[in-house]
Amino acid sequence: MLRRDQMKKATFLIFLLSSLMLSGCTNKTSTEKISTDKVSTDKTSIDKVSADSANNINNPREKEDETVMENMQITYQKKAESLYEKILELYSVEGTNLFLENYPPKPEDNAVSYLWPYSAMFSAANAIIKLPGNKEKYIDSYEKILAGLEHYYDDIRKPAAYEAYPGEFGGSDRYYDDNMWLGLDFIEAYRTFGDKKYLEKAERIFEFVKSGWTDELGGGIYWCEQKKESKNTCSNGPAAILALMLYEETQKEEYYEWGLKIYNWTKDNLQSPSGVYWDNIDLKGNIDKATYTYNSGTMLHASVLLYNITKEDKYLLEAQKVAKASLEHFTEKKQDICFYPANNPWFTDILYRGYIELYKVDGNPRYINSIIDNIDYAWENAKDENGLLESDWSGVVKNRNKPLLDVSCMVEMYARTALLRD
Question: pLDDT per residue over 310-367, tens digit each?
Answer: 999 999 999 999 999 999 999 999 878 999 999 899 999 999 999 999 999 999 999 9
Residue 34 has pLDDT above 60, yes or no: no
CA dist., res. 198 & res. 243, Å (int): 15
Distance, C-alpha 238 to centroid of its chain: 12
Q: What is the pLDDT of residues 236-257, one digit of tens each?
A: 999 999 999 999 999 999 999 9
Confidence at 6, pLDDT banded by 50, 70, 90: low
Phi-psi region of 219 (alpha: psi -120 to 50; beta: other; left: phi over 0): left
State the average pLDDT over residues 120-135. 98
For 107, which DSSP code?
T
Question: With 0-12 CB in 10 A as exposed, 13-18 as middle and 19+ as buried, what is 104?
Answer: exposed
Position 3 pLDDT exceeds 90? no
pLDDT of residue 50: 32
Better pLDDT: 27 or 133: 133
Check whether 68 has a pLDDT greater than 90: no
pLDDT above 80 for 52: no
- Residue-wise pLDDT for 286-321, tens only, equals 999 999 999 999 999 999 999 999 999 999 999 999
Higher pLDDT, 53 or 233: 233
Contact 209, 179 (CB under 8 A): yes
**Residue 267 main-chain phi, psi, to 5 deg:** -65, -40
Does residue 93 register a pLDDT over 60?
A: yes
Which strands, in side-by-side order, build the sheet including 278-282?
230-232, 278-282, 287-291
pLDDT confidence of residue 143: 99
Q: Which fold has domain 2-34+74-421?
A: Glycosyltransferase (1.50.10)
Give 216-229 pLDDT, tens digit per residue.
999 999 999 999 99
DSSP secondary structure letter of residue 216: G
Distance CA 276, CA 293 (A): 8
pLDDT exceeds 60 at position 19: no
Q: What is the pLDDT of residue 62?
A: 46
Q: How confident is the model at residue 422 (pLDDT cuts 50, 70, 90)?
A: confident
Please check the confidence at residue 53 and state whether its pLDDT lies above 80.
no
**Cα separation of 319 and 357, whole Å?**
10
Residues 57-86 have a mean pLDDT of: 69
- What sign has the CA pseudo-torsion 221, 223, 228, 230? negative
CA distance 243 to 362: 23
